[in-house]
Structure 1
Amino acid sequence: MARFYADEQFPFPVVELLRNLGHDVLTVQEAGKAEQGISDEEVLAFAVSQERAILTINRDDFIRLHRRNDNHFGIIVCTNNRNWEQFAARINEAVVKEESLTGKLIRVVRPVM
């Protein structure tokens, strides 16, 4: 299963569901970084230092960071979805089919109703 680092806006209910699916998820808050007003660059640098893929709903900024440098352990950019179970399932489906997340940008979008 994947090792993730969820940025500070990422919904905690989805973090818990991903953990229940067997993923190792660390949040910015759990890492003690939220109080510091950590920048996106610092989030990515910490994730790289911990060999974790980023989970974020901050799509534009992290897509920009990926385009600047793909030397990371994966960035999963998501469209926010209030259906937490569906949200977690879509992330799980997107990452389990990948052999490795290293250097990849994966988009997980909310299904069109």
Structure 2
Amino acid sequence: MVRLYCDEQFPREVSEQLQTMGHDVLTIQAAGNANLGTSDEAVLEFAVANDRTVLTLNRYDFVRLHRLQPDHAGIIVCTNDSDRNRLARRIHEAICTEASLSKKLIRVIRPSTS
């Protein structure tokens, strides 16, 4: 079980599925931080203060933040996937293979379609 913090654009359906898989998922909305124009830096700061791994579709900015501030509980950047079940499973598989997410950047990439 991983403690996750989903940023504002992360799909609600995926966060709900991750909860059913046993993960402790806190969304920015549930934390009372939605619609406040919260910066990416503030999202990461909240996650660090609450020992949670950031879960985001905002790959570019959070890869940059990982490089600038590598001391965090983990960052998972995902390629958006309209198949929400598949995205949730891929995230679950990616984090369950890791002993610890601390200071790691995990990339969950949508599989290419043939």
TM-score bucket (shorter structure): over 0.9
Residue 61 of structure 1 aligns to a residue whose secondary structure is helix
Q: Tell me the TM-score normalised to structure 1 length.
A: 0.99
Q: 2:42 & 2:69 partners in 1: Cα distance?
A: 14
Once the two structures are superposed, residues 80-105 of structure 1 have per-residue CA deviations (whole angstroms, 9 ceiling, x without a partner) of 00101100000000000100000000
Q: CA shift at 1:107, angstroms? A: 0.2
- Aligned amino acid, residue 69 of structure 1: Q
Query: 2:68: which partner in 1?
Result: 68
Residue 46 of structure 1 aligns to a residue whose secondary structure is helix
Q: 2:44 & 2:8 partners in 1: Cα distance?
A: 12
Query: 1:93: which partner in 2?
Result: 93
Residue 36 of structure 1 aligns to a residue whose secondary structure is coil
Query: 2:110: which partner in 1?
Result: 110
Matches within 5 A, 1:1-113: 1-113=1-113
Gaps of 5+ in 1: none
Q: CA shift at 1:37, angstroms? A: 1.1
Residue 92 of structure 2 aligns to a residue whose secondary structure is helix
- Aligned amino acid, residue 63 of structure 1: V
Matched positions, count: 113
Cα RMSD between the aligned structures?
A: 0.5
Once the two structures are superposed, residues 14-36 of structure 1 have per-residue CA deviations (whole angstroms, 9 ceiling, x without a partner) of 00000000000000011010132
Residue 35 of structure 1 aligns to a residue whose secondary structure is coil
Tell me which stretches of 4 or more aligned residues in structure 1 moved more than 3 Å: none
Q: Tell me the TM-score normalised to structure 2 length.
A: 0.98
Gaps of 5+ in 2: none
Identity of aligned residues (%): 57
